[in-house]
Structures are given as structure tokens and as C-alpha cells.
Amino acid sequence: MPQTAWRNWAGTASAVAREVHAPRDVAEISKAVTGAAERGLTVRTRGSGHSFTAIAAAHDVALDLGNWTGVVAADTETGAVIVRSGTTLATLNAELDRLGLAMANLGDIDAQTISGAISTGTHGTGARLGGISTQVTGLELVLADGSTVSCSATERPELFAAARVGLGALGVITTVSLQTVPSYVLAAEERPEPIDDVLASLDERCAANDHFEFYWFPYGHNALTKTNNRLPEGATPAPLGRVKQFVEYEVMENAVFGALCRIGRAVPKLVRPLNKLSSSAVSARSYSDVSHKVFVTSRKVRFVESEYAIPRAALADVLGELRTEVPKLADPVMFPVEVRVAAADDIWLSTAYERDSAYLAIHQFTGMPYRAYFDLFESIVGAVGGRPHWGKMHTLDAETLRARYPRFDDFRRVQSEVDPDRRFVNPYLARVLG
């Protein structure tokens, strides 16, 4: 039986539930929800703990969906797939690979459950592509009264528009229907480049490539650029050799970088030279592999993170202000800033709702001061209407968020229809939804 005590991956949120259920089917999920309702208790579903906020914290009844996993159905001709909500992205990617299918776009972490990933608005990068939720074609949920409902673009469309990024506030997602694509190989180019050159050619790179992102090191002159493009059907992968892959990712990006972070935490005055060293020590590499093996990166160095989506047109100004202000902070910043892009979508609480977006994610090594840095960041992106990633650290409340999401009140209306007693609310949701 899962433990009542819970803590997220970053150590930024924790909770102790009164009880934990590990349902094995929809009937048991429904029973847990109605049982909580009879006693006036709230319910939250635990995922993999990869949100930096307390969105998954359960103080009454926690649902652990570790026994509710796997692909339910897959049509290899159309790419339509139905998967149970407790399935991690890592497991889903492996199953799709076996079927000759793949997700059209992914982020760089695959530890999340599929339901957790879509509920918080997890995304990758690509100017013509949306987040994971845009690949969802249907959902099945257990509502607060224990009933099971389905929704899609044609069946309960308003519930569907809300639930694709639903924060777990509308019910317990039981299955997710996805539109996948045939398996494909991605060619990857990763190399250090002067940050000024990257910014000067940013629009062209985003338009010319399937996936483009970069990492900016606050005290260095270089950025690490990552460019991924689909190869023609039938292309043979040419991955990095095992030794080079181990050295580049496990040794350099995890072991060595982790050691540098620990040195910087112990001796803060060394952070700036260590950060410059990190930016100059990155090596160029070119390879290709099946898509999910290129998208996903091993992350073993723990950190705290805040991420905001801003209008694409505001990126140069926002990053320019960060480049000016971050070096002035009293507490130095060890981690780079990640910059990605995504296409506009029509999902009510998606950070990319009705606008092409750029994403800036800031990080600090765990145990190092971050509050002043995060406050600075939030003030800069707030000036251009930035929308926080629901699973990453921010201080906004419902009043502020309502002004940034045109369909915020519509979401609240649907929430009241399906969960009038706020069965699925915890303190985090009470803050961001009111």
C-alpha cells in the first residue's frame, strides 16, 4: 500500500493524506471518490511528483494510479490510441514504439503520468506544434458524484476544452485518447553558440526547424542550442555510441554538472566562473534516433523551477531584460535558462491559449537561494502577460490569472457544474482557481 506521506521530486511540496487508495479499475476509482464524498473529504490524484507546485498534494484522500496503467487500444492504421491515466510517458513511449507509433511532440522528461502531463500543460518545443494536450482527442473521467463520463470535441465539448488542461479540478481522468503518428527518426544537432547570434536568428530557426530550443547561461556568452528535425520515412537511426552517450549525458551533464553545482552552493562566489565554465565546456554533437529517445533527456541533478509562457513577439525584450538584471542579483544563479516555443491552441487553461508562445524556464540548484531570482523573473514576464506553467513555481492567484486567461470564468463554470462541492480542490487549486 502506498505511503500516506508524499513529497515531490524537487522537495518543494509535501503532504500527508488521511488515506491512500491504489485502484485497479474504474469501479474502484469511483468507489474511492464516492466514499470520500460521503465523509466530506477531498480527493487528489498523485502522479509521479514531477510538478514543482503542490498541485498533486492530497490532504484527505490520495489516489495512486500505479496499478492503473497500460495501453487499452491502438489502431496502427489511424494512430488512434487509448491509454490508462496512470501510465508514465516512458512506458507509453515504449509501447507506442513497439506498435510503430509515436507522439508528435514531447517534452524532455518522461517520468510523468500521461494524465499528470496533460493536466498541468506539459509541452515540448516547436513553432508549428502544441503541447501534449493538443494530441488528446478524448478523455474519460470519474466525476465528483462517482459517475463516469466521456468527452471529446463532439461529446461534451466544453468539458473537453476544460479538461485537457484541467489541473485535476474536474474529476479523476481514467483514460486518455490520443492521436499519434507513425514512428519517425529525429536528427539532432546540439552545439554551443554565442547567445547574441542565437537571438539574432531566432525567428528564422524556429520557422525552419521542427523543434528548436536553447539554454542560456546567465554569466557566459554562449548558449547551448538544440535543433531536431524529422528524417524521411524509413530513415535508419544513427545514435551516439554508448560510450559517447554515457560521457556526454551521464558524466558531463549529470555527474560533472552536479559536482559544479555543489561547489557553487558551498562557495557562492565561485558560481559565476563555474557558470562560465559550464557554458564553454559544452561540446557539439550530431546524431539521430527514434523520436522519444531524442526528445527525452536524463535529469539527475535536482533543482527548483519556474516557467512562464509569453507572447512570441515579446521574447527578445524579456530575455534582454533578464540578461541585464540577473547578473545584479545578490545570490548567483547556477542553472541555465531554457527557451522553447509552441503554437497557439484552443484549450482554455493552456498557457498557449490563442497565442503563439515562447517559454522561459528558470532554475536554481536545490538548496541555493532562489526567491529573489524567481520574483524578478515573475515581474519581468508579468509585464507582458506571462502565464505560469501550472506545475512549476509561481505566486499568482485567481484574480491575476483571470486577467490572463480569456476563458478562465468558463473553466470555473464547468468546474461548478461537475464538482459543485469542490471535491477535487486542495490549497493550491483554491489559490489559483479561487
Would you state the pLDDT for residue 281? 66
What is residue 239's three-state secondary structure?
A: coil
Single residue among 164, 182, 200 that ends a domain in this structure: 182
Give the Cα separation of 108 and 114 in Å (integer): 14
* Average pLDDT of the segment spanning 346-368: 97
Residue 39 domain-assigned?
A: no
* Domain shared by 149 and 244, yes or no: no
Bridging pattern class, strands 43-46 and 211-216: unpaired
Q: Which of 262, 312, 81 is nearest to 180 (CA)?
A: 81
Lowest model confidence (mean pLDDT) among 81-90, 266-275, 279-288: 279-288
Residue 189 is assigned to a structural domain of this protein? yes
Task: Indicate the burial class of 33 (C-beta count within 10 angstroms; 0-12, 13-18, 19 or more).
Answer: buried
Note the pLDDT tens digit of each residue in 412-430. Answer: 999 999 999 999 999 999 9
201 and 217, same domain (yes or no): yes
Query: Are 209 and 229 within 8 A, CB to CB?
Result: yes
> What does the pLDDT look like over 44-55, one tens digit per residue?
999 899 999 999
Last residue within a domain, chosen from 182, 202, 221: 182
Total number of domains in the chain: 2
Residue 242 lies in a domain: yes
298-307 as b/e: b if 16+ CB within 10 A: eeebebbbbb
Residue 337 CB neighbour total at 10 angstroms: 21
Provide mean pLDDT across the span 307-334. 95
In a domain, 148, yes or no: yes
Give the pLDDT of residue 277. 76
**Same-domain check for residues 162 and 242:** no
* pLDDT at residue 150 greater than cutoff 90: yes
Residue 1: pLDDT above 70? no
Q: Where do we find the cell 555527474?
A: 255
pLDDT of residue 122: 97
User: Do residue 111 and residue 259 come from a single domain?
Assistant: no
Query: How confident is the model over 8-35, as a mean pLDDT?
Result: 96
196 and 163, same structural domain? no
The answer to whether residues 373 and 310 belong to one domain is yes
Residues 168 and 299 in one domain: no
Give the global pTM: 0.95
Q: What is the mean pLDDT of residues 321-332?
A: 95
Q: Using DSSP bridges, classify how beta strands 357-365 and 80-84 pair: parallel, antiparallel or unpaired.
A: unpaired
- What proportion of the chain, given as a percentage, has pLDDT over 90? 88
Considering the domain boundaries, does residue 432 fall inside one?
no
Model pLDDT, residue 221: 84
* CATH (domain of 207): 3.40.462.10
pLDDT digits 0-9 by tens, 358-381:
999 999 999 999 999 999 999 999
205 and 338 in one domain?
Answer: yes
Confirm if 254 and 377 have CB atoms less than 8 A apart. Answer: no
Secondary structure letter of residue 115 according to DSSP: H
In this structure, the answer to whether residues 345 and 204 fall within a common structural domain is: yes
Q: Which of 350, 373, 388 is the last residue of a domain?
A: 388
Question: Would residue 14 count as lying in a domain?
Answer: no
Average pLDDT over residues 161-167: 98
Domain with 151 in it: what CATH number?
3.30.465.10
Predicted pLDDT at 2:
74
User: Phi and psi of 350, rounded to 5°?
Assistant: -70, 140
Quick one: 335 and 258 in the same domain? yes
- Could you tell me the residue range of the domain that residue 85 belongs to? 66-182
Task: Tell me what pLDDT residue 58 has.
Answer: 97
- The per-residue pLDDT for 342 is 97
Arithmetic mean of pLDDT over the chain: 95
Residue 125 lies in a domain: yes
Residues 208 and 165 in one domain: no
CB 311 within 8 A of CB 355: yes
Which DSSP letter does residue 355 get? S
CA distance 25 to 30: 9
**Does residue 205 sit in the same domain as residue 177?**
no
In a domain, 20, yes or no: no
Question: Which whole number is the average pLDDT over 75-104?
Answer: 98
Look at residues 393, 326, 398, 402 and name the one whose alpha carbon lies nearest to residue 361: 393
